[in-house]
Chains A and B, each alone.
Chain A
């Protein structure tokens, strides 16, 4: 299994600003993903973070709003750009290792936009 940490754990931001969330894995993972989870709701996949290339975004999510980087096999960032109150949510990253279909999740970043 992989242990995943996220920074910050929570933040309160003003509308119109941007926040970058960091995801660090304690071992190399094959794939990394970013999810959004509204309080009390299920998880929605934002994008797959691809190492050394542009992320693959799901329907409804675009690179200009959620730029993602993955410079190596253990680290990724998600930026929430030009934030509005509707971006208030929990953002989680996950990773998989080897050939497994199992994802390991970080603890999440709780974002509140005022």
Chain B
């Protein structure tokens, strides 16, 4: 079972880039890495997903080194509305037992 570790909190300012690293040393071969954003009183919202190397979409980039034991979510030019908790999820939905492990979450505060 992949144990995931993230920083508890992170402060930033509007317009800056925010990078959040998740450690998952015993990630399995079939596991994907997915990042979610959660606002208070809401369910988590999908941001980005990757398996290896780099993935980019309209809101974020995900960097995964060759050994896949960590991953870094990059949020370019954050705004106040990006203040939220960000979760790293490691696992494979179709794997036996669905070993899905959420990290503890990183509380990102974007300041004006």
Contact = CB atoms under 8 A, between A and B. Distances in A.
Question: Chain B interface secondary structure, helix, strand, loop or mixed?
Answer: loop
How extensive is the interface on chain B, given as a class?
A: 20 to 34
A102 B34 contact: yes
A26 B34 CA distance: 23
Contact of A101 (B44, B93, B97, B103): B93
A66 interface: no
Interface in A31-73: 31, 33, 41-45, 48, 56, 58
Given A43-B102, A92-B44, 14 more contacts: A31-B98, A33-B100, A43-B44, A43-B87, A56-B97, A92-B43, A101-B32, A102-B46, A103-B44, A103-B93, A105-B44, A106-B43, A107-B42, A108-B42
Interface of A: 1, 4, 31, 33, 41-45, 48, 56, 58, 92, 94, 96, 101-108, 110
Interface of B: 32, 34, 36, 41-46, 49, 87, 89, 92-94, 97-98, 100, 102-105
